[in-house]
Structure 1
Amino acid sequence: MNMKALEKDAMRVLKETSRTFYIPITFLKKDLKTAVANAYLIMRALDEIEDNEHPEVTNETKHFLLMEVSGLLKEEPFDNECYLQLLEPVKQYMPEVTMRMNDWISLLPAGSKKIVCDAASEMAFGMAKWAKANWQVRTKEDLDDYTYYVAGLVGVMLSDLWEWDSQVKTDRDLAIGYGRGLQAVNILRNQHEDMETRGVSFIPQGWTREDLFRYTEENLQKADQYMDDISKRSILLFCRLPLALAHKTLDALKNGKEKVSRSEVEETVKEILAE
């Protein structure tokens, strides 16, 4: 494919992979939109290795693959041949987004490539560590560590991209809180499924569900504060939508629902765009 066709195909994969993040990414402009879209695809590629439930993809395999990919992401240029060789034994269990890591990296605008690949390398390292530990969270420090690697550092990466493209400066700790808050909502929503299907608990020992609600709310408060530093409308729209959906999902969970409905998502999009 030429670059134009590849960019269009990346957006197709993005839409198929995550409708939730596809919408806010479309609010962004030009290079920033391309950078964030492909950063999401790169991190989703890693996530699909970490979350893979096929029996052949053991925790030891995940740890090995993610550690190796973490190293590859530090190299310039990215060694796609080596990457595909690593995945060869398990490629039939991996989705398109994971097998095409090199495409997503190749689409990153020049100034954004190091920011995204450094963050993805750190994420892969953290995921590898937690795969080896079978994601058994025992303390609040463990929960903070896990939620940093899978989400908090995404907040930091986005902040670096805002500054790179639009000279928008934000607070690092609040950026981490933004990512953690969204991830904590996911943990709450998937608590029973994680235990039943994977035998995994992200809840610290001795914590009740109320404690996890409190942890989530504290981080979403930081996310709300994070927004105060953002003056550029397109970036603000991007950040507002996932945060608004996280707040609504949290309210739904408190009321005994599993998630917000598709109609509520569509209504939230309209509300955000009308502001």
Structure 2
Amino acid sequence: MKEQKVLKKEAMEVLKKTSRTFYIPIMFLKKELKDAVAVAYLAMRAIDEIEDHEEISNDVKHYLLTEVSELLLEEDFNQHKYKTLVSPYANVLPEVTLRLADWLLLAPAGAKKCVQAATSEMANGMAKWAKANWKIQTREELDDYTYYVAGLVGVMLSDLWKWHDGIETDRQLAIGYGRGLQAINILRNQDEDMDQRGVSFLPDGWNKQDLIAYATENLEMADEYMKSINKKPILLFCKLPLAIAHKTLKAIKEGREKVSRLEVEETVQEVQADLTDTKLSLK
């Protein structure tokens, strides 16, 4: 029991260090659901760090992600096989990736299969796009890529909402929620992706305004997604990243790269106040 408590504390520390933006809304969730979403975030961040790594070749990324995808399909994640797989890259991969097996130990029994299946599908999709060097030529290919790296997150979260609270949501709106957040990330990181990785996620013939339109379209789906959620902790979780995404899009349109830390903190307060004042029957 003590070891489990220590591991959970370490997981939350890594979560906070890895992404303060998602750490905050995860804290709004109730205990078992909070554990499930935290594990899911850490697992998906673990494979994301492989996909984004600047010092690992695309061939190696494809190999690692494909192998991880297969391991995640096993009911009992094989810790030894995973350690053997990543050990040659232990000097370059971050803690969140190297300790994937630890994070999965914290998954609630009822949510573990869902989290592993979604992360497996994501890893497989990332492997495919790493092999293709993320050469996106059409809107359909952009949709495919953003489905694997973000739309899947929306689907998995919806599965967790149903598991924990019986909430029914629309799959396409859930995908739009994830895609909308990802489109904002692509907009924010266009120059960095090109300078550091030589990668552009813009389809052929697209410009910044086309990507802004893509982000706007999916954020509108995300707004619609919110209407099916009537549990306050889950609504807080979902609304905060979405509110920040909307503010970031506004900032980009105004010529700024991102919102400030102060704006993020103000957004947290605004979302909490808005939900406190709402007429909805939230519990």
Q: Where does residue 129 of structure 2 map in the other structure? A: 130
Q: Secondary structure at the match of 1:41?
A: helix
Q: Distance in 2 between matches of 1:236 and 1:136?
A: 35
Give deviations 1:120-175, integer Å, cap 9, x for gaps.
Answer: 00000000000000111110011000000000000000000000001111110000
Alignment of 1:27-106 (within 5 A): 27-54=28-55, 57-106=56-105
1:22 maps to a residue whose letter is: Y
1:230, distance to aligned residue in structure 2 (A): 0.2
Q: Distance in 1 between matches of 2:146 and 2:67?
A: 21
Q: Distance in 2 between matches of 1:271 and 1:8?
A: 29
1:191 maps to a residue whose letter is: Q
Q: Distance in 1 between matches of 2:49 and 2:191?
A: 20
Equivalent residues of 2:240, 2:268 under 8 A apart: yes
Alignment of 1:1-275 (within 5 A): 2-54=3-55, 57-275=56-274
1:2, distance to aligned residue in structure 2 (A): 1.1
Q: Distance in 2 between matches of 1:36 and 1:88?
A: 27
C-alpha root-mean-square deviation of aligned residues, in Å?
Answer: 0.7
Q: Where does residue 279 of structure 2 map in the other structure? A: none
Residue-pair matches, total: 273
Give deviations 1:6-65, integer Å, cap 9, x for gaps.
Answer: 1111111100000000000000001000000010000000001101111xx110000000
TM-score (norm 2): 0.96
1:208, distance to aligned residue in structure 2 (A): 1.5
Equivalent residues of 2:71, 2:77 under 8 A apart: yes
TM-score (norm 1): 0.98
Q: Secondary structure at the match of 1:22?
A: helix
2:176 maps to a residue whose letter is: G
1:259, distance to aligned residue in structure 2 (A): 0.3
Q: Distance in 1 between matches of 2:137 and 2:36?
A: 35
Q: Distance in 2 between matches of 1:149 and 1:268?
A: 28
Give deviations 1:176-224, integer Å, cap 9, x for gaps.
Answer: 0000000000001111111111110100000121111101000000000
Q: Distance in 1 between matches of 2:100 and 2:28?
A: 24
2:256 maps to a residue whose letter is: K
Structure 2 unmatched ranges of 5 or more: 275-283
Q: Distance in 2 between matches of 1:93 and 1:145?
A: 29
Q: Distance in 2 between matches of 1:196 and 1:8?
A: 36
Q: Distance in 1 between matches of 2:83 and 2:5?
A: 24
Q: Secondary structure at the match of 2:33?
A: helix
Equivalent residues of 2:75, 2:113 under 8 A apart: no
Q: Distance in 2 between matches of 1:19 and 1:100?
A: 19
Q: Distance in 2 between matches of 1:32 and 1:86?
A: 30
Give deviations 1:74-123, integer Å, cap 9, x for gaps.
Answer: 00210011011111211111000001001111100000000000000000
Q: Which runs of 4+ in 1 moved over 2 A?
A: none
1:269, distance to aligned residue in structure 2 (A): 0.4
